[in-house]
Amino acid sequence: MKVLMTGGAGQLGQALIAARPPGLELIVTSRHGGDGLQALDLADPEACCAAVLAHRPDCVLNAGAYTAVDQAEEEPELAQAVNAGAPAAFAEALAALDGGANDPRPLLQVSTDFVFNGQQGAPYRPEQPCHPLGVYGSSKAAGEAAVLHIPGGRVLRTSWVYGPVGHNFCRTMLRLHRERAASGQPLGVVADQVGCPTSSHTLAAACWRALGVGLDPAAEAELPRILHWTDAGAASWYDIAMAIGELGVELGHLERPAVLRPISTADYPTPARRPSYSLLECVTSRKALGLEPSHWRQALRQVIERLGN
């Protein structure tokens, strides 16, 4: 199987490369290329179409995205181009390659909990309608719609992704724990937004399975068009920050944690509104994918251990 993958330089992209199944030809792209990656600007729909038509992949895994949630409020056109225009271009190009075949080429779109407004107070099921709060969520919802328009399109939603590389909450919080513990200043962390963190490594395994890797043909044929994947459990950002401090000390990254102070969303205003409760219902998707989840704290431990290596 030949797979064209975007976002190769990001934290999920790096995890996908590390978990690449044997016998698979993987063409990896990133915005700037280099280090074995081919350059592909997701803001350029013509380039996205050309990449598909040139490589003629068996499937496309779109792991790249515009993820700067607050900056998207100032750059709506760019966010829309990357998060909606690129998936639409991939879908169009794959449909052209299929030529109306009964066995369409899959397109897996990695999406987000931000397509929901977080107001229902219960986990969101895959089939529920999207009601995003801001530009980022709206652009990702539009990308989902474009992908689901073709027979081979599939969406995998996730939330609060972090890993041992890249810019993410885990790495930032380890640094802040170290700095604030040294200065003696308490650290305020939002405690009234609830969801679930997701390790880039467990998410990568779910992505490959969503493309049918490791599934028998019958199970692959029964996969839902929209899937949810996060690690197990629920937490606020404050809960996660507390766990990062405790594990950081235990695993030798910190001498001591910072003093944490729970704050409200109103205490930490941002340009983009965040859903207050964005937990995703993953039970049916986990069963369809045939994967057992790790609790978020166990997955967090494994990521922090990787940082030590």
Q: Read off the pTM.
A: 0.95
The number of C-alpha atoms within 13 Å of 225 and in the hemisphere containing its C-beta is 12
Q: Which of 235, 237, 242 is nearest to 177 (CA)?
A: 242
Domain contains 16: yes
- Which pLDDT tens digit goes with each residue over 182-205? 999 999 999 999 999 999 999 999
Tens-place pLDDT, residues 230-272: 999 999 999 999 999 999 999 999 999 999 999 999 999 999 9
Taking a C-beta distance cutoff of 8 angstroms, is the pair 229, 240 a contact?
no
Q: Collapsing DSSP states into helix, strand and coil, what is residue 104?
A: coil
| Domain membership flag for residue 56 | yes
Residue 210 included in any domain:
yes
Query: Quick check: 158 and 229 in contact, CB under 8 A?
Result: yes
How far from 144 is each of 47, 112, 309, CA to CA, in Å?
A: 20, 10, 36
Cβ-in-10-Å burial (0-12, 13-18, 19+) of 307 comes to middle
- Residue 124 located in a structural domain: yes
Number of domains in the chain: 1
**Does some domain include residue 48?**
yes
Give the 3-state secondary structure of residue 256. coil
Catalytic annotation, pick one of 124, 136, 238, 277: 136
Residue 249 lies in a domain: no
Please check the confidence at residue 26 and state whether its pLDDT lies above 80. Answer: yes
> What residue numbers bound the domain in which 151 lies?
2-160+197-230
57 inside domain: yes
Of 189, 167, 145, the C-alpha closest to 68 is: 167
Which token pair is 223? 């996969």
- Neighbouring-strand partners of residue 182: none
Distance CA 174, CA 99 (A): 51
Q: What is the pLDDT of residue 101?
A: 56
Please report whether residue 273 resides in a domain.
no
Residue 99: pLDDT band by 50, 70, 90 thresholds? Answer: low
Domain CATH code at residue 147: 3.40.50.720
Burial 19-42 (b: 16+ CB within 10 A, else e): bbeeeeebbbbbbeeeeebeebbb
- Taking the CA atoms of residue 246, residue 251, residue 254 and residue 257 in that order, the dihedral angle to the nearest 10 degrees is 10
136 is catalytic: yes
Q: Note the pLDDT tens digit of each residue in 35-58.
A: 889 999 999 999 999 999 999 999
